[in-house]
Structure 1
Amino acid sequence: MAEEFEVPSPHEHHVEHVTEHAHGSGDNFAGKIAVMTAIMATVGAMFSYQAGSTESEAAMNKNDAAIKKTEAANQWNYYQAKSSRQNLAELAMHIPGVDAAHYTAEAARYKSEKEEIQKKAEALEAESTAWDQKSEQALHQHHRWAQAMTAIQIAIAMAAITLLTRKNWLKKVSYGAAGIGVVLGLLATLHY
């Protein structure tokens, strides 16, 4: 039976050597980076969830705005129909041999009905505008969450490079990017 043996690559040999040296000398550089990366990944996951949530909220608000806009358009069409009937009634009042009093009353009725329809259409337009504003606010908040998540992802990538190169300045860059991500997440929470 043939014996199996493994020939480690130079990279694997180097990583093993560095790991053994780090543990032997009390160097916990890699451990600190690993813990920070895990924390950043957790924070990034929360930011990602919030980004998705606010994006859905923005879409739902935009949908509600479209529904109200359609309802308002239907009311304006109804208003136009009443206007046409009012105009026809006003024309009929002047035709010789017709009951002018009947058409005068009809024209007055259409006019008063139009006023109620107009109020309802304007109210629906105001609701549509309010939903649009809510959608824009949620979309802005979504963008802020996405920016925070991007900064955290950059921080995680920089932490990985830091772990490979063991450069202290890269660790500071990674922590700085994480800090920016946290600040952006705080701004998203505060709706800025």
Structure 2
Amino acid sequence: MSAGGFHVHGPHDHEVEHVAQHGGDGFTSRLAVLTAVLSTVGAIFGYMGGHSQNAALLYKNEASIQKTAASNQWNYFQAKSSKQNLAELSVTLTSGETQEKFRQAVGRYQQEKEEIKREAEKLEAAAEAANRHSEMEMHVHERWAMATTLLQIGIALAAITLLTRRRWMLAGVYGASALGVLAGVAGYLHL
């Protein structure tokens, strides 16, 4: 019971408190420390997973912005093409000084279209690069999420091991924890 009144906690918390207050066997103490370490590492992995997910969303947003800008450029290119087509038609339908004016317009539109096309292609390349970065960050996020989940399984198995006193269950604790740490390393290394 706490000083303020009623206090409820689970059996695992009770066991950890009991060991802290009264001492305990080495098995219980080591398992309590392992649980605390796994919880800390799991919290770090969870943070990193959230960070990589946010980065993936930022890159995806950037890709959308670049794709929209590229689409606008292509629309501008199309508008210049329409004007060029009208100028070409006007060259056919006119003569003399007016015809020369339309010939110059055709050349100007052709040059403007080339510049617009280069800009649109550059924006499309930027969108593709941002999409690739987003996919890579989501892959890393999946590694962090797997690592966090495996560590949570290790913590749950540690609690069950502590409550049941079945030492053979330590193999599951160590196995899940090791796999979780390996997945975390893979996330850190962007594998």
With the shorter chain as reference, the TM-score category is: 0.7 to 0.9
Code of the residue aligned with 2:70 in structure 1: it is A
**C-alpha displacement at 1:105, in angstroms?**
0.6
Deviation at 1:27, TM superposition (A): 2.5
Corresponding residue of 1:173: 172
Aligned sequence identity (%): 48
Which residue does the alignment assign to 1:67? Answer: 65
* TM-score with structure 2 setting the length: 0.86
Correspondence 1:4-83 to 2 at 5 A: 27-83=25-81
Instruction: Encode CA deviations 1:22-54: one digit per residue, 9 max, x unaligned.
Output: x79x73211111100000000000000000000
Which residue does 2:119 correspond to in 1? 120
Deviations 1:133-155 (A, max 9, x none): 00000010000000000000000
Letter in 1 for 2:40: T
Q: CA shift at 1:176, angstroms?
A: 1.1
SS at match of 2:93: coil
Counterpart of 1:176 in structure 2: which amino acid? Answer: G
Which ranges of structure 2 fall in alignment gaps of 5 or more residues? 1-10
Shift of 1:97: 5.3
Q: Aligned-pair RMSD on alpha carbons?
A: 2.0
For structure 1, list consecutive stretches of 5 or more residues without a partner in the other structure. Answer: 1-11
Q: How far apart in 2 are the matches of 1:181 and 1:84?
A: 60
The reply on whether 1:92 has 2:85 as its aligned counterpart is: no
* Cα distance per residue 1:84-104 (max 9 Å; x no partner): 000000001111457111101
The alignment of Structure 1 onto Structure 2 pairs a total of residues equal to: 174
Residue 169 of structure 1, CA deviation:
1.4
Matched residue, 2:100: 101
Determine the C-alpha separation between the residues in 1 that align with 2:182 and 2:134: 23
The equivalent residue for 1:6 is none
- Letter of the aligned partner of 2:90 in structure 1? A
Letter in 2 for 1:180: L
Which residue of the partner structure matches residue 5 of structure 1? none
* Segments ≥4 residues shifted beyond 4 Å: none
Between the aligned partners of 1:146 and 1:27, the Cα distance in structure 2 is 34
User: Which residue number corresponds to residue 153 of structure 2?
Assistant: 154
How far apart are the structure 1 equivalents of 2:166 and 2:94? 100
Q: Return the alpha-carbon distance in structure 2 between the equivalents of residues 182 and 96 of structure 1.
A: 77
- What is the CA deviation profile of residues 42-77 of structure 1, one whole-angstrom value per residue up to 9, with x for unaligned ones? 000000000000000000000001100011000000
Give the residue type in structure 1 aligned to 2:64. A
1:184 maps to 2:183:
yes
Equivalent residue number for residue 8 of structure 2: none
Further displaced range: 163-172 or 108-117: 163-172
